[in-house]
Amino acid sequence: MGHALGRLGKRIRQLMGMAEAGLRPAGQTVRQDLGEAFGHLRRYRHTGKAALAVVFILYMLSGTYLVDSGELAVVTRFGRVVQGRVSPGLRWHVPWPFEAARTVNVSQVRREGIGVSLPGHAPEIHPPEEIQLLSGDENLLTAKAIVQYRVKEPADYLFRVDYNEDPLLRAAVKAALTELAGAMQVDALLTSGRTELQRRARDQVQETLDAYQSGLEIVSIDLQEIAPPGEVAQAFRDVASAAEEKNKLINDARGYANSVIPQARGEAERRLREAEGYKTDVANRARGEAQRFTDTLAQYARDAQVYGANVTRYRLYVETMEKILAKAKKYVVEPGQDGEQVRVRILDQMQAPPAPTGRP
């Protein structure tokens, strides 16, 4: 068979050469050449069936396709989706022209820049343009954003997003940021409100994409820059710096108050506890002294009945003098007769007598 094909190829080249030379071969010659090339196949009865079987097998195998990890496939039958989420692996569908399969990478996080030129991602339709925002207090701002997204429904992505997803994403992000910025003050947009704006913009853009059945899922919207026009940029920066300085001073004051107030409260609590302790101690001492005086009075009344009032008073006087003059020398002198006072002169024994004078 290979020899016959070789002869047929050679004959075809001859015929092409004759055609270029302007010669027309006779039909009989062509039929004769074909008969010589394939006439021997008539001797094999099952050759045609085998060839048809091989062609049929190859045709059926043409419906085999591979879905890689991180991808999903969409199978259509005469243009209508019959399988929207075919999982990874070796798969098969009815060959062309009945069915067709297209794979979409659903794990890849894609990026789209608005007002920002991303490396390796040149815009195909719209050039990079900044987003114009009008705040709630009528201040004009410009913004730049980077949107990260991925495909969550491959069928919707393939058949509902026209050409590519860039124009739809740009329009949805611009509309969301413009609407949300109109309800916020410029100070919030330039400072602490940016995070809240990003979060709310992501939710609103996702609602818009779901309403269009785009099959896309927003991962994040990062505002790279929100700035006023160049003519007033310095004034806005001065205002923002003043606001930051104000917040810094407030935070420093609060920190100082948080450090001083607890210390003062602790000192006040300590003094209150000391005062309460002193109060309790003084009160207990007073009660003890009062009780001691009461007991002494009761004892005095009992001794006065037994020994007499003068003896008891004298005893108390002596006991008191012993306590007061505990470390002093004490001399007890009996009074003279009939109450005569006795004068006592005490001389120190260690004192030397005065020296005699020179005269006798």
Identify the pLDDT of residue 6: 58
In 266-310, DSSP assigns E strands to none
Which value, to the nearest 10 degrees, does the dihedral of the CA atoms of residues 179, 184, 185, 186 take?
-50
Tokens of 168: 């739809």
Beta bridge partners of 216: 151
Give the Cα separation of 243 and 191 in Å (integer): 9
Contact 84, 74 (CB under 8 A): yes
Identify the pLDDT of residue 37: 59
Identify the pLDDT of residue 26: 46
Please state, in angstroms and as integers, the Cα–Cα distance from residue 274 to each residue in 34, 260, 267, 280, 285, following that order. 126, 21, 10, 10, 16
Give the Cα separation of 327 and 324 in Å (integer): 8
- Tens digits of pLDDT across the chain (360 residues): 445 445 556 656 665 555 555 544 444 565 666 566 555 555 556 666 777 888 888 888 888 889 899 899 999 998 888 888 888 998 888 888 898 999 999 898 888 888 777 666 555 555 567 788 888 877 788 888 889 999 999 988 888 886 677 788 888 998 998 888 888 888 788 777 888 889 999 999 999 999 988 889 999 998 888 887 777 777 777 877 887 888 889 999 998 888 889 888 888 999 999 999 999 999 998 998 888 888 877 877 877 777 777 777 777 777 787 778 777 776 666 666 666 666 666 655 545 555 555 444
Contact 153, 84 (CB under 8 A): yes
Identify the pLDDT of residue 149: 92
Task: Work out the angle at residue 96's Cα, subtended by the Cα atoms of residues 92 and 100, and round it to the nearest 5 degrees.
Answer: 60
Contact 181, 141 (CB under 8 A): yes
Residue type at position 112: E
Identify the pLDDT of residue 3: 53
Identify the pLDDT of residue 206: 93
